[in-house]
Amino acid sequence: MVFFIMTSQDIESEKKRKLLYTYWHKLKYFKTIESSKYSQVQKSEVQSFIIKYIRDGLEDEFGKKFQLSRRHAFTAKELHTAYLKKQNSQQYSLSNFHFHIKSLVEDGYLKEIVKILEGRHYIAYYGRTAIVITEQLDNILTDSIMQDIFNPMKQMAKDLNPEIDSETIDKLVDESVLLLEEYYFKLFSWIKDKYPLLYKSKIDIHEFVIIAGHFAFFCKDFAKNLEKVGTLIGLDKIMEYERYKDEKEI
């Protein structure tokens, strides 16, 4: 029988490696990122991949051995290799991934979790700074993105309903936006409460937040307001239309 005696270095490395799994469950649930930086990351294929891959995590043998959850911290080389395995992925270099990781660290998305001695070198492992990272909106009514969405809706409602005072329509649509914001804040509290179950199910939290928006009718005040706004732009008549046929079907 062969006995393996762990050195102090082995014990230290094992302790550090466990942090790749355990740090995740000590993170804050939500964090906001400046709108311009958030938008920039969403447009970057590589950066979006990195933050999603880390969020999804990975089950591996070390984690199973010590009965740990999924690993949520990776080296630049691991992230680069995982990206290259994607179908139709562009062939970015490892140095390019180092650049993107540095940018994500500077913008507050990622942080260095630990450096582990592997061979002769200490290798950095990167993880997220929060479980869910969202866009920071200082004032949802004056935010440029929200204005781009809702200002045209206001104008359409005014064009369809010239008999209704313009300020009344503005107020009604603004109320809809504020009620939707309130719903999402309550949704975040729900996610925090249910997170152990959400984590176990391996659901994509970012996508879930988007999907959960369709259940905002549970907010009664929002549902009533939305019905009024929908009526102003004619959506109350939508079921009177025939099912749209694709040109290929005609």
- Concatenating the DSSP letter of every residue in 23-59 gives GGGGSEEEEEEEHHHHHHHHH-HHHHHHHHHHHH-B-
**What is the structure's pLDDT at 141?**
75
**What is the structure's pLDDT at 2?**
47
Classify residue 69 as left (phi > 0), alpha (psi -120 to 50) or beta. beta
CATH number at residue 125: 1.10.10.10
Q: Does 13 fall in a domain? A: yes
Q: Does 120 fall in a domain? A: yes
Question: Among 133, 156, 183, where does a domain finish?
Answer: 133
Tell me the per-residue pLDDT of 65-78, one tens digit each, with 9 for 90 and over: 999 999 999 999 99
Lowest mean pLDDT among 31-45, 54-68, 107-121: 31-45
Same-domain pairing of 228 and 122: no
pLDDT at residue 47 is higher than 90: yes
Rounded to whole angstroms, how far apart are CA atoms 92 and 75?
16
pLDDT at residue 162 is higher than 50: yes
**Between these two residues, 169 and 86, which has the higher pLDDT value?**
169
Residue 201's H or E segment, with its range, is helix 166-201
Same-domain pairing of 18 and 119: yes
**What is the structure's pLDDT at 1?**
52
**What is the structure's pLDDT at 229?**
94
Same-domain pairing of 112 and 196: no
How many structural domains does the chain have?
2
Q: Categorize the per-residue pLDDT at 128 as very low, low, confident or very high, splitting at 50, 70 and 90.
A: very high
Q: Is the pTM of this model over 0.85?
A: no
Q: Categorize the per-residue pLDDT at 227 as very low, low, confident or very high, splitting at 50, 70 and 90.
A: very high
Same-domain pairing of 155 and 201: yes
Question: Among 116, 133, 150, where does a domain finish?
Answer: 133
**What is the structure's pLDDT at 4?**
57
**Between these two residues, 36 and 112, which has the higher pLDDT value?**
112
Non-local (6+) Cβ contacts of 127 within 8 A are 20, 23, 24, 54, 72, 73, 74, 110, 111, 113
Expressed as residue numbers, the domain containing 231 is 138-240
Average pLDDT, the chain: 90
Q: Does 2 fall in a domain? A: no
Rounded to whole angstroms, how far apart are CA atoms 33 and 137?
9
